[in-house]
Amino acid sequence: MSDTFIEIDRVTFGYDSSRIILNDVSMRFPRGKVTAILGGSGCGKTTLLRLIGGVYPANQGRVVFDGELVDSRDKAQLYRIRRRLGMLFQFGALFTDLSVFDNVAFPLREHTSLPEALIRDIVLMKLNAVGLRGAAPLRISQVSGGMARRIALARAMALDPELIMYDEPFAGLDPISMGVTANLIRRLNDATGATSLMVSHDVQECFAISDYAYLMAPGGRVVAHGTPEELNRSEDPEVRQFIRGEPDGPIRFHYPAPSMAQDLGLSA
Ligand SMILES: Nc1ncnc2c1ncn2[C@@H]1O[C@H](COP(=O)(O)OP(=O)(O)OP(=O)(O)O)[C@@H](O)[C@H]1O
């Protein structure tokens, strides 16, 4: 069994031919580890998760899932792969008209034919793992943002995934809920032996719980990668700007655009 669970090998991708979103990206996500992909808004992090899930094919390069080349045209393969991965979407994306219990039960009812009594036990175990067994009967409207994120985490874990992908797991959370969620991601990873992959722009929160991190810049480029300690020690100006959140530096603030004068019709 290889140590690499997911491999992104020289992947280039654009939603259309007019703009490259991922530019010659190579990454490896080791089995059983927590890896962070960090980058500002729009640099292609979510797109990368879509390619791993086979939603879109790479224009160039390969995505390998546990030794198997991901082929977005092979529906049977995609079904098998998706059965092995859990996804925590930005802001949790819970069903607001269902109870906490029914949200976590949803993937079990949808993807298995387990009897309801067993589903009940699994749901209560998953909720217990995130400290919310007592909240099972509540409606989603009755829970806080931090609780909602933990419920979404319990739902993502419902089918015992081997890979868990987190899209901005800390978005919109207060600092305490952020810390709770981060610790939970690490604990669940270690308790289940799953491989965790997290995309985020919260550098320090991710560094606190990641084994390894990739930094991405606009234009879908990997700027640097290493352990959090290595990246924190880096003298590279781009890496330092990124980690310290400095407004000025080599990473551009502006999305590519024509000149202001041209846009305002002022050019000669
Ligand atoms: N379905 C789509 N069709 C066309 N363009 C898209 C699509 N989804 C995203 N994009 C574009 O691809 C670029 C990268 O988006 P992506 O969501 O991967 O970035 P991100 O790094 O995850 O950003 P954020 O943190 O804001 O979610 C953006 O410029 C976005 O406008």
pLDDT tens per residue across all 268 residues of the chain: 679 999 999 999 999 988 999 999 999 999 999 999 998 888 899 999 999 999 999 999 999 999 999 988 889 999 888 889 988 877 668 998 999 999 999 999 998 999 999 999 999 999 998 889 999 999 998 898 888 989 999 999 999 999 999 999 888 888 888 888 899 999 999 988 999 999 998 898 999 999 999 999 888 899 999 999 999 999 898 888 888 876 555 555 556 667 777 777 776 5
What's the pLDDT score for residue 61? Answer: 96
Determine if ligand 1 sits within 6 Å of the CB of residue 51: no
Cα–Cα–Cα angle for 37, 215, 80, nearest 5°? 30
Ligand 1 center to 101 CA (angstroms): 32
Q: Establish whether residue 15 lines the binding site of ligand 1, counting it when its CB lies within 6 angstroms of any ligand atom.
A: yes
Q: Which protein residue's CA is at the shortest distance from atom 11 of ligand 1?
A: 42
Name the β-bridge partners of 212. Answer: 35
Question: Domain extents for the chain?
Answer: 4-84+161-178+191-263
255 CB-near residues (< 8 Å, 6+ apart): 42, 218
Report the complex ipTM. 0.94
Q: Residue 200: its pLDDT value, please?
A: 92
Measured by CA distance, the residue closest to atom 28 of ligand 1 is 42
Determine the pLDDT at residue 40.
Answer: 82
Interatomic CA distance for residues 29 and 198, integer angstroms = 11
C-beta of 44 in contact with ligand 1 (< 6 A)? yes
Report which secondary-structure segment, H or E, holds 60. strand 60-65
Please name the residue whose Cα sits nearest to atom 31 of ligand 1. 42
Q: According to the model, what pLDDT value does residue 182 have?
A: 92
Residue nearest to atom 7 of ligand 1 (CA): 15
Q: Which pLDDT does position 241 carry in this prediction? A: 84
Give the Cα separation of 251 and 32 in Å (integer). Answer: 32
Task: Tally Cβ neighbours within 10 Å of residue 259.
Answer: 9
Which atom in ligand 1 lies closest to the alpha carbon of residue 48?
18
Ligand 1 atom closest to the CA of 50, numbered from 1: 18
46-80: b or e for each residue (b if 16 or more CB lie within 10 Å)?
bbbbbbbbbeeebeebebbbbeeebebeeeebbee
Asked if residue 220 has its Cβ within 6 Å of ligand 1, the reply is: no
According to the model, what pLDDT value does residue 31 have? Answer: 95
Position 172 scores a pLDDT of: 83
In sequence order, what are the beta bridge partners of 199? 37, 167
Backbone CA torsion sign across 20, 23, 29, 35: negative
Q: Is 236 helix (H, G, I), strand (E, B) or coil?
A: coil
Residue 78 near residue 72 (C-beta atoms within 8 A): yes
Question: Ligand 1 within 6 A of 215 CB?
Answer: no
The strand pair at 85-88 and 163-167 is best described as parallel
Cβ pair 89, 46 in contact under 8 A: no
pLDDT at 5: 95
Region for residue 264 given its phi and psi (left: phi exceeds 0; alpha: psi -120 to 50; beta: otherwise) = alpha
Please name the residue whose Cα sits nearest to atom 13 of ligand 1.
42
The per-residue pLDDT for 21 is: 94
Ligand 1 binding pocket includes 23 (Cβ within 6 Å) = no
Mutate which of 18, 19, 46 to test ligand 1's pocket (most atoms within 8 Å of Cβ)?
A: 46
Nearest-atom number in ligand 1 for the CA of 201 is 25
265: left (phi over 0), alpha (psi -120 to 50) or beta: left
Look up the CATH number of domain 4-84+161-178+191-263. 3.40.50.300
